[in-house]
Every structure is written in structure tokens, then in C-alpha cells.
Amino acid sequence: MSGDAHDGFRSRIGETIGVSPEHIALFAKGRVALYAVLRALDIEPGDEVILPAFTCVAVPNAILYARARPVYVDIRPDTYTIDSTAVEEAIGARTRVILAQNTFGLSADLAALESIAARRGLTVVDDCTHGLGGRYRGLPNGSVAAASFFSTQWSKPLSTGLGGFAIARDAETAARLRHLEEAAPESGPVRSLMLRALVGAAEHAGNGRSFRAGREPAGRSDHDRARGRSRRAVPRLDHRSHPVTTPFADSRVTRHDRRQSSSVMDRMWWHD
């Protein structure tokens, strides 16, 4: 993707989420964007990041790549998002970040988490990998917390095949993110070819003419009946208590830090 295409994509993201394009940094994957956020926040080895135990393995992997320690807490049974009471109980002397994950497009209770963070001197990072297009109390997901990150991998609300981006509300953190973006390695010809193959395969598989297993017999299928049972098993979300809607570098970053960061982000490009 050319520089002009990057700038255009950044501008469209800013229009959608309601943030300045200068506060948006583009990365190879959502997990790389999370790693960059942690680096931009000066997370040090041994610092702790509180996150929901119900999450993707890519999330704690990014935390471990930053040499921080993931601390798992329980989720709420009505929204499947992180439980703010459990968060407060898990805060320790090395806690630096609370990760507020969007689950199935539903935002965490950001007001409660921001209140805890303000009292304890912590930072809330909004995991919006499944939340693009959703809103929290009328505000677009990704525009409320101090920092947020998104994925644009093929299974996400917006897909670029592979990709992700990070947002910071304050200018200093945003500048650090942009420096980390600039330090990230460019995709070589092999990776570019692999990405094109992945995107082409996904489009081919999604057109309904591939992997067809034959005509479905008349009447409801076992799959339909199973889906009906699974829907009945999901607890009903009470929007009155949880007002969300579902979705449709800093000068201190030295040359050595940039090389180290590039190396880590390069490895993370390949690993789940």
C-alpha cells in the first residue's frame, strides 16, 4: 500500500471513529498494534496488565512480547466483558494497564474502568478488535479510552486481509505510536505475495461456489436446530444497565529501541 493510500485509510478511520488522523498508527496486525500501545505507554518488564480471561491468545502474547505480565480476571455473565469489581481486586503494586475488551461487539463498562484507573493511576486500553462500528453511550468504540487498538484481519468487521491500527487520545502517546509505525519493517515480496494469496482465497471461499457440500434437504437442518438451541442458551443483555450497541515516536525512542521494536513486531507478524 502506498503512502497516499495509507493516509487515505487513516483519514477514513479518523472520520469513522471521530479522532484526528495524526492520532492513528497503522500496523501489520491487531496484536502488533497492542504491542505498540504498550511500548508507547512505557510499559516496563514485570509491569502488569489486567485483562479478561475470556480472550484470544494473541492478546496475552502481545503483553508477553512487551515483557509485561498478564493478570487474568473474570467476566460479567450478562455481557461477557471484563468485570470491573474483579479488576479492582486484582490491582497490585506493578499494575499499569487495564485492558477493556469488546466481546462480540459489546463494549466493556468503560465508565467504571476509567473511574478505577483515575483513582489508582492506571491507563485503560480499549481492545476494539471486534468493536469497529459499535458505540458506548453514544460514542464510537475506540474514542473513549486513553488508547485503543483494532484488527482488520479477515474475520473482523472491516477486513484488509491482514492489518490493524492503534489510537491514542493524547498527542504524546500518539507521536510515540507513529514513530513505532515508521520503525516497523516493510513487507517484502514473499509476504506481499502471501497476503494476496490469503485475500484471494478468502474472497473465493466466501462467494458461495467453493467448498459446497451439496444441497440441503428440505426442512430444518441439524445445524439450524443447533443454532436455535444455542441462541436460547445465551443470556439476554440488559441495555438499561449496560448502554452499548452492537457493531455492524517520541524522542525517547532510541535507534536501539526502534531496532528491538522492529524485531519483535517482525516476529509477531508470523505468530498467532
Residue 259 has pLDDT above 80, yes or no: no
Higher pLDDT, 38 or 158: 38
Any domain includes 204: no
Any domain includes 116: yes
Any domain includes 26: yes
Any domain includes 214: no
Any domain includes 165: yes
Any domain includes 196: no
pLDDT in tens, 75-104: 999 999 999 999 999 999 999 999 999 998
Residues spanned by the domain of 176: 3-189+245-270
List the single range of 127-131, 183-187, 240-244 with lowest mean pLDDT: 240-244
pLDDT of residue 264: 52
pLDDT band at 251 (very low <50, low <70, confident <90, very high): very low
Any domain includes 199: no
What does the DSSP assignment read for the chain?
Answer: --HHHHHHHHHHHHHHHT--GGGEEEESSHHHHHHHHHHHTT--TT-EEEEESSS-THHHHHHHHTT-EEEEE-B-TTT-SBPHHHHHHH--TTEEEEEEE-BTTBPP-HHHHHHHHHHHT-EEEEE-TTTTT-EETTEETTSSSSEEEEE-STTSSS--SS-EEEEESSHHHHHHHHHHHHHSPPP-HHHHHHHHHHHHHHHHHTTSSSS---PPPSS--HHHHHHHHHHHHSPPP-TTTS-EE-----TTS-HHHHHHHHHHHHHHHH--
pLDDT of residue 2: 58
The CB-side HSE value for 267 (13 A sphere, CA atoms) comes to: 11
Domain count, the chain: 1
Any domain includes 229: no
pLDDT of residue 244: 39
pLDDT in tens, 184-220: 777 678 877 877 777 677 666 555 443 333 444 445 4
CATH number at residue 71: 3.40.640.10
